[in-house]
């Protein structure tokens, strides 16, 4: 890889069987996903996503929602060690939050940006080391899929058809080919998948 593309851009998201990342109730409706997010397979996938990452990209909705949850997990000695590991990483790591409305950063070690995701990622790739993780933020993922800038997808697929809600893979995306590099199935039928972009 040349200097401009030396950092890998990864993204993680949980999807229903019909490709939705939330339910009919809108951006905060994860009721169909709740039974699966604390399984062994899901927690192992959670660890997998952040281990090589040094920068987290978040949309405003996720940044504000995560702030209300993960910092307390980071200091909870009774929390699952995988949840705690992710929480500590998220609190401490460099965060870039995309927002057109926030006036100040909601976390420490956070930079607010009001710019196209593709431009921000192009800049981030030229400096530093480690993966750039789009952290469960579908709006940012969609922008980078449209620009063909994602190198790895971490997907959790849960065996539920929710019948409504937003989809990750919209019509009109550029064609791309991916290689399955990891697959694991849990007792509830949840599947952890890792796909690498073939270029």
- Can you give the C-alpha Rg of the chain in angstroms? 16
Interval 102-126 mean pLDDT: 92
Whole domain around residue 106: which residue ranges? Answer: 3-198
In the predicted structure, residue 1 carries a pLDDT above the cut 70: no
Q: How far is 175 from 48, CA to CA, in rounded Å?
A: 26
What is the domain-level CATH number for residue 124? 3.40.430.10
Interval 128-145 mean pLDDT: 96
Q: What pTM was computed for the model? A: 0.93
If one counts the domains in the chain, the total is 1
The region of weakest confidence among 10-14, 28-32, 49-53, 141-145 is 28-32
pLDDT (0 to 100) of residue 106: 78
Interval 172-178 mean pLDDT: 96
Query: Mind listing the pLDDT tens digit for each residue in 16-47?
Result: 999 999 999 988 889 999 999 999 999 999 99
Interval 99-127 mean pLDDT: 91
In the predicted structure, residue 79 carries a pLDDT above the cut 80: yes
Angle, helix 138-146 to helix 117-124, in steps of 10 degrees: 80
Interval 62-88 mean pLDDT: 93
Residue pair 29/177 in contact (Cβ under 8 Å)? The answer is: no
Structure tokens at 13: 């998201």
In the predicted structure, residue 152 carries a pLDDT above the cut 70: yes
Question: CA of 40: how far to CAs of 80, 131, 192, in Å?
Answer: 10, 24, 10
In the predicted structure, residue 2 carries a pLDDT above the cut 60: no
Interval 70-91 mean pLDDT: 96
Q: Among the residues of the chain, which ranges form H helices? A: 40-50, 60-67, 70-74, 81-92, 117-124, 138-146
Q: How far is 73 from 67, CA to CA, in rounded Å?
A: 11
pLDDT (0 to 100) of residue 3: 45
Interval 4-10 mean pLDDT: 81
pLDDT (0 to 100) of residue 198: 97
């Amino acid at each position: 890889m040349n200097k401009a593309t030396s950092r890998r851009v990864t993204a993680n998201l949980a999807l229903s069987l019909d490709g939705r990342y939330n339910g009919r109730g809108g951006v905060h409706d994860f009721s169909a996903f709740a039974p699966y997010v604390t399984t062994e397979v899901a927690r192992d996938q959670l660890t997998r996503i952040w281990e090589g990452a040094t920068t987290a990209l978040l949309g405003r909705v996720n940044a504000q929602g995560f702030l209300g949850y993960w910092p307390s997990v980071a200091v909870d000695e009774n929390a699952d060690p995988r949840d705690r590991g992710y929480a500590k990483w998220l609190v401490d790591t460099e965060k870039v939050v995309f927002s057109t409305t926030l006036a100040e950063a909601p976390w420490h070690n956070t930079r607010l940006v009001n710019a196209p995701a593709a431009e921000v990622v192009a800049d981030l790739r030229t400096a530093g080391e480690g993966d750039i993780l789009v952290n469960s933020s579908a709006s940012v993922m969609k922008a980078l899929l449209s620009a063909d800038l994602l190198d790895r997808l971490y997907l959790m697929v849960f065996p539920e058809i929710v019948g409504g809600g937003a989809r990750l893979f919209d019509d009109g995306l550029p064609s791309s080919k991916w290689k399955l590099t990891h697959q694991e199935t849990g007792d509830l039928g949840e599947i952890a998948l890792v796909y690498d972009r073939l270029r």
